[in-house]
Chains A and B, each alone.
Chain A
Amino acid sequence: MDLGIFPRVVGAKKFESKKMNDRPLLDIRNLKTYFFLPEGVIKAVDNVSFHVGNREIVGLVGESGCGKSVTALSILGLIQSPPGQIVSGEILFQGQDLCKMSPEQLRKIRGNRIAMIFQEPMISLNPLYSIGDQIVEVYTEHYGLSRQEARKKAKEMLEKVQIPSPARRIYEYPHQLSGGMRQRAMIAMALACKPAMILADEPTTALDVTIQAQILELMVELQKLMGTSILLITHNLGAVAEYAKRVIVMYLGRVVEEAPVIPIFESPLHPYTVGLLNSIPKLGSKAIGGKKRLEEIPGMVPGLNDLPEGCYFHPRCSKGREICKRKEPKLFENQPGHRVACWAVREGW
């Protein structure tokens, strides 16, 4: 087993609102990931900072183009270069800056200390190998187990993710499994090397509602069991509300709000978060209050190559004033643990 990636002794560092000995597992600071295209520079992730603590489930939410997936790819060092590039910032994982690592070092961390689960498991599973073989490979590669032992372990892992009759499934190929089963196999593979962190990018979006529930429950159950942290990247606000402890809301490459889950849903501050929450129909609300019109956020998400000045949300914001058009609001801590980037909140209008 490779121990080289465990943290070296790092000098004492100060973290805002964090105790020194409680260093976050993943700490992203001022991350900028740009794409340099002939049409111009696309700032997919623009000065993003957040952290994920040990054993914490953090939800990263936002609509298409908000940069949530690019953030995940940046963490994994999987940004296609060119045209993409991490322009500046640090991604500290267990104290080490992933941005400064060689591809070889990154490869060791990826899939070992940081595992990933994608929306469509079909593209991340190799169609030419049985799922058993793929999990076995994790054990033989990362732990140096013999094939026999690895096979036994793989079977155990499939049992853990509640795949029925694992002894048989181990010989099946990805295309023979249903979407839900594939996602389970994916989770088994991700967890096989006991990662410290799982990046789950829309892990249930392609699945049916009842299967979604199964998979999310399973992930959380295993997270508790194995002490893993999860960065849950999704547009599904319901899933975040139920499973995440803390929520980060992104809009067009910037973090606009960050808070523990209850304040985010009960007293959201940023007009975008407010709008997002009000625009989803809530199950059962009709039974209580009759049919109401959904509140909508006017306009549409602008393209990343066509961004407005100042606050990116101002053209769609009802609270926008002159300053919003000119100056970008910085994140500030409104209440302990509740950060927001909005002039209206800051100035209290």
Chain B
Amino acid sequence: MSNTRILEEGKGKLWRTFKKNKTALVGTAIIIIVIAVAILAPWISPHDPLEQNMVHRLKPPDRTYPLGTDEYGRDVLSRVLWGTRVSLSVGILSILFGLVVGTAMGAVAGYKGAIVGSIIMRMVDVLLSFPVLISGILVVAILGPGMDKLILTMGIVFAPRFARLAYGPTLVVKEREYVDSARIIGVSNLRILTHYLFPNIFGGILVAGTLWVGTAILTEASLSFLGLGVSPPTPTWGNMIKSGIDRLTTAPWLSIFPGLSILTTVLAINMIGDGLRDITDPKLRI
């Protein structure tokens, strides 16, 4: 028997477990569609998302404009489709970035404890005392606008939240006897973090992470609205909702459709998170 075979067997098992979780499967299907839309946006959009047409402004959904038009007469459907690109990448990438950095911080603080831990966690607490938007503004002000900066910014904004989330479970897990056992064998601190702590705290963090993707998408909207993120003519779900919110009663389609897009995406990611938690726990594997 070789190591690789076991590994492959393991992979098969993971997929089997994931597949068994119908919720996760549906979530995956939806996300695949959303990603496809993001990639294919230029080809499947019926109109140019930036093309203004003052004659057709604020039209409710009809045949030519299935989701209506906005105050500049731009096609809402095309804007939603194009907006997928920005929103999805900003939402997912920034959370991923925040998750990696934040979890590392929280786990190191929890595992090291004493002074190092206190310093990290006090810093985290200070950062957490600012609302997401305010700290976002602060960081953007330092880094400057642009989509890559935006992702970085939001990553930095979410990192302390993940740190908090990782800190508690780390304190619990590091007291487990298997961590002591690892130290007795001579396992290095780094390996204890990566092989003993992370795998055991990851499930909960992953699920929370998927929840925050929604928050990230909305934060991106707010920042964009303030001119600190993606600049206005480029459609994102966030800035579409923002600009439509004033006409919620007269032209509800402006914000409803990007809103539904966010809802669907967040829900799908959540459903995947559920399945991912199952496969990270060997007890739930089949």
Do A and B touch each other in the complex, judged by CB within 8 A?
A: no
Residues of chain B at the chain A interface (Cβ within 8 Å): none
Residues of chain A at the chain B interface (Cβ within 8 Å): none
